[in-house]
Amino acid sequence: MSTAVKKENKANRPARGGVATFVEAIRQGIWEEMERDPSVFVIGEDVGAYGGAFKVTEGLQEEFGAERVIDTPISEAAIVGAACGAALMGMRPVAEFQFIDFISCGFDMLTNYAAKCRYRWGGGVAAVFRGPCGSGVHAGPFHSVNAESFFLNTAGLKIVEPATAYDAKGLIKAAIRDPDPVIFFEHKKLYRLPRLREELPEDDYVVEIGRARVARAGRDLSIITFGYQVLNALDAAEELEKEGLDVEVIDLRTLAPLDREAILASVKKTNKVLVLHEAARTGGIGGEIAGVIAEEAFEWLDAPVVRLASLDTPVPYSPPLEEYYLPQVSDILAAARKLAAY
């Protein structure tokens, strides 16, 4: 692939740093990586002329040309296959799914090819597969999935889901530079949430893949979560503080590789753990985290590990049913109080 001559298009170029929403942070990160490395390109449905379904790639095609921002037919299998092939030829593709639900169409290529390339012959697929995930926006069962557990059982894939604008930018840049395939989940409720507007550094930075962060320090119990549920956990922690309960919130940021050290450090500090995630409970990452804690920190526990997740049903379209289906702040409060009293 030849590199298109970049056109002057200052009106659409995002600011480097400054106050940004979650979606603007991701756009900044991709844009800066395309400026830094001519092998980086974007591929997906409506990523070019339209600027992406959620406008993450807005202005990129005007700036970098149609050879580096490629609109595709409606075929996720073809998008993933093209990205894998380009990566093996030395390119750095960033493949977008309009909704992460449709990643299932590329499942075979991701799990049976991209994930195994390094193990098979020593060369990894340096590609990012990104798109909007998550429920709570009344988009129905086909546009609301949380798909992380589909891939957690596949060695060779890195899985990322940020919860802040700072992390979204730093992690997308790290994912693009990574030598292996990275699945990058972006909860759609976070994209333009005013609460997540924050000042980003003007200087180049990355957030290391595989490292959790302490979103809120506490001593009485730990809530381990990621993505949009970090906000619910923080809201619940603030309410529980009024009751004299000091809650620690761990934002995993990366689901594979899992930051076991951060999880175990929090368990040893608070001795009680609530694992919170938005995907269905059965087969979810909460079971894996609970297993790690049981195997490696059992003697520090003062209560059983509690899992709080969505119901084992498709995501309802009806707003009241969807609210019932999802973990709410009220559910976190009830679970935390019960756990604290154990």
Position 308, amino acid? L
Query: What is the distance between the alpha carbons of residues 192 and 285, in angstroms, rounded to a whole number?
Result: 26
**DSSP tag of 253:** -
Nearest to 46 by CA among 71, 83, 12: 71
Determine the Cα–Cα distance for residues 327 and 335; give it in Å rounded to an integer: 11
State which amino acid sits at residue 291. G
Catalytic residues: 143
Separation CA 184–CA 20 (nearest Å): 19
**Cα–chain-centroid distance for residue 184?**
5
Q: Is 170 left (phi over 0), alpha (psi -120 to 50) or beta?
A: alpha
Radius of gyration of the CA atoms of the chain, in A: 20
User: How many helices (H) does the chain have, and how many strands (E)?
Assistant: 12, 14
Burial readout 207-241 (b: 16 or more C-beta within 10 A, e: otherwise) = bebbebbebbebebbbbbbbbbbbbbbbebbebbe
Coil, helix or strand at residue 217: coil
